[in-house]
Copies of this chain bind each other. A is one copy, B any other.
Amino acid sequence: MRQHKLALCKEHYLEWIPAQTERFIKKYEMFTHYEKVLVAVSGGKDSLALWDILVRLGYQVDGLYIGLGIDGGFGYSSESHRLTQEFADKHGLKLHVVDVEKEYGQPIPVLADITHRGKGRPCSVCGLAKRHVMNRIARDMGYAVLATGHNLDDEVAVLFGNTLNWMGEYLLRQSPVLPETPGLARKVKPLCRFYEREMTAYALLRGIEYIYEECPYAVGSKTTYYKELLNQLETDRPGAKLTFYVKFLEARQQGLFAEKEKIQTPLTPCPKCGQPTSAPGLCSFCRLMERAAMTTIDSAD
């Protein structure tokens, strides 16, 4: 690990990653051993590794798998569901499963298609649906905290995109911890300071079976493009990604940005689902669902 000037053998690496995770959990005050944590698991290396690490660290943590109904020619969703379920069974862990098609009538790609949202890509609909479901399950099942497996590369790509366009609201919000707000569990990203390759190494060394394929819709996305550009920067200037992310958090903490209240739109509960929204009426997810229902009725006519 050039950015830390550190080289570890397998045994110490498998100790170092959880120890570092524990350090970040404490540093950013993510959660305690007394709180119930729900980890959103996709079947990929990051989220399965996160679940593994949190369990090893002795936290009370259950999993949530959201079936998105994405095939991509190789059964992306069914395969990732299988691997997630196997991981849960092998370690005797509790896994909640929400199938988008069963609960909301259509799989994600169809929802995106019929609502014409997202410029030919289902990614924005997918993100919206996942956020809605994660928030709902965390609230309904009484979890204090919702944890996701975003790694440093994920966070840096998002930060980079938001910075290139100076998206003020997003810059103020991107954080390893989003505090609880009425109707929303606290959200945390315990892996946010690990490089993607560090998580791959952890998953492989730990023998976690995860889905190797990326989501088929990620190919050619803006985030993927930023990741490639940032990988080039990192190759030329090792540590650049970590510096960009950590210095951003530090600068914000030290007061570089305006107070959130000056920039951010206030939130009110959605009259249908109760989740906080910045929209004046229904939240984006409930509006999407209404549009999908109308389109389905139209096509049935």
A interface, CB within 8 angstroms of B = 163-166, 168, 171, 225, 229, 232-233, 236, 240, 243-244, 247-248, 250-251, 254-258, 262-263
Contact = CB atoms under 8 A, between A and B. Distances in A.
A166 B251 contact: yes
A263 B251 CA distance: 10
B244 A233 contact: no
A198 B244 CA distance: 31
Nearest to A222: B237
A250 B263 CA distance: 13
Nearest to A248: B166
A164 B254 CA distance: 17
Majority SS of interface residues in chain A?
Answer: helix
A185 to B, nearest CB: 28
6 contacts: A164-B244, A168-B251, A168-B254, A229-B233, A257-B257, A258-B258
A263 B257 CA distance: 10
Contact of A229 (B171, B232, B251, B262): B232
B164 A243 contact: yes
Contacts of A243: 164-165
A248 B164 CA distance: 8
A263 B258 CA distance: 12
Contacts of A255: 258, 262-263
A224 to B, nearest CB: 12
A251 B165 CA distance: 9
Contacts of A233: 164, 229
A119 to B, nearest CB: 15
Nearest to A249: B166
A111 to B, nearest CB: 28
Contact of A165 (B163, B244, B254, B262): B244
Nearest to A163: B163
A245 to B, nearest CB: 10
Contacts of A250: 166
